[in-house]
Structure 1
Amino acid sequence: MDRQAMDSTGAEFAGSRGGFSLDSTVGGAVSRGFDTFRHGWQTQVGAAFPLPTFSQATTGDFRVRSRVAKLHDVAITDLDSASVIRTAGTPYGYAHQVRMYVVRRGVWSLGGVAGRGEHTVRAGQFLLRHGAPLHFGASPHTTVQIVTLPATAFDPRLRNRCVTESADSAEMRLLLAHTNMVHATVTDLGPAGVHAAHGALLELAKAVVTGRFDDAEPELRPALVRAAKEAADRRLAEPELSPALLARELNVSVRTLQRAFTSAGESVTGYIRHRRLAQARSALAQTRPPSVTELAAYWQFSDSSHFIRAFKKRYGQTPVEYARSVRSTGS
């Protein structure tokens, strides 16, 4: 391959992914918030995802925490707004795209011309829409994720339709776990990583619509592992936490869940145990730490002896020795 071809390939790959984040809710960032957001979008996301025209009130007081990621023909935009967001005029965009609005807090509104085709998406819901973008807006304290996808990935029967459903499905939890992972890694991904992350995102988005997760698809395993870890972290202190419970919550078999964790080099039970031990270790570093018996009971170890053995195997010290060493270092 000659140098010109190499440069072309490198430029093509560089344009296949991009991302930026912004917090214009504090300090001097408030006055230039929208300009900073627009510059980041134009340079990192590009013309394939043109921004709409926003109202003057929005551009003049753009107080948001946001992060944006692009993988080829997919864009993921997270907005946590402390100010009003409103479009002014027909948004730019392409009719061959699908947009998914996932609202975690507040209310997101979309509307057509002269008040026709109004849609309201409340916290805990998502709206999936095929076609040219509508006017949209949100009051302050609204948190939304907008995923822009190619319409070719979906059933043609979705054309020019809106679907509004609960965002609490297992398939949606998997998708959100994956979009979080994309946000965290997008700027570091190489060509193979971009390809895998992009393919998994499209498959998970389709799973949200169809209600079926293809558990035989290896590219989806990282999203499954991340979603399971997030679910486990929320339930660490609960005695019912188990691989079976997590599998039911994510609508997969225990075997599928175990296989996904194995591909990541760990086990489900091992992850739960290590996270519980880490939480116990943090508690032991407090000024007045709980007793070993209290920690063992709270973090669901069968007894103090079992907890002490597991802690020493993990950290090379007993809980008492660790607490003593922390106090000694602190003094």
Structure 2
Amino acid sequence: MSDTPTCAGVAPHLTISTTHRGLDSRTTSSWTLGNGSTLMHLRYHALAVSNARHRNTDPRHRLLSMAVLAPGHWTLTGTTTPPQQKDRPALVILDQSDPFDFRDHGSGSATILHTTYPRLTLSPETVHRGLHKLTADLPLYPLMLNHLQQLGVIATTAGNVLPDLSASTMSLMRSLLLSAADSSPTTDPTATLVLTITSYIDEHLYAPELSADSIATAHNISPRQLYKIWPDTHGSLSGYIINRRLEQARSTLLTHPSLSIAAIAHQHGFAQPTHFTHRFRRTYGVSPSQWRRQRLPQHASTAS
């Protein structure tokens, strides 16, 4: 969504106009995530964006847009939209080849991720089922919403690192669509439980007591059962928790350049800064302070 419908990530058949002639305004910033994905931040007044009819676009080239919309009085028809809460942002996902109509007569803003079907490695049928069954009740919904908001913050402070976060962003979006597509009475209960557990881990990620025992207790299962259902694709349970903490800490290194390495370590669940530095170096090849200096030279930090 930009001043011209031919910019990266926006299909040329979209109609972009104003709801109040002469009163519209749009300011757009965009950043490349790589492999056909683009992140955009949009501020607008009196905006209308629509696609009047279904387009038979090759699935390899179909564009998907996932947006966090600021609270307001906007409307979106033609696609399933979780009920709006006027005081909270909302997450929406749409296929730009499907009919839809977005309108906001006032002022608003959005952080938008544009990507293609191949990046999600899901069938068109699964993607569409997920789009039409997306609800705010899904465990991954708030996680995806917060992640996209955080990408917008990182883009304005250290846009050059966005490609480093592309894979985790696509993985989270893929998981959200899969969980939405499978949200029915016939859903595999084990898969549902794993999604609930991963959401629980993210909600309690920095709690010192987070462990297999506490996770199992919270979900009324034994640790042995937890290890049995934990997917091999996620790696070990302890490794998954540490990697999620490292991912979040890596973002905080950029968004809070004044925080010391020790403070960030403690904030993200690492009791010892030396353990944090060791795991960070083993995962990313450099120390936290080196990684920060490489990407924020203007904020060269002496924190240790």
Which category of TM-score, normalised to the shorter sequence, fits these structures? 0.3 to 0.5
Answer with 1 or 2: which has the greater Rg.
1
**Structure with higher RCO (Cα < 8 A, 6+ apart):** 2
TM score, norm. by length of structure 1: 0.42
TM score, norm. by length of structure 2: 0.45
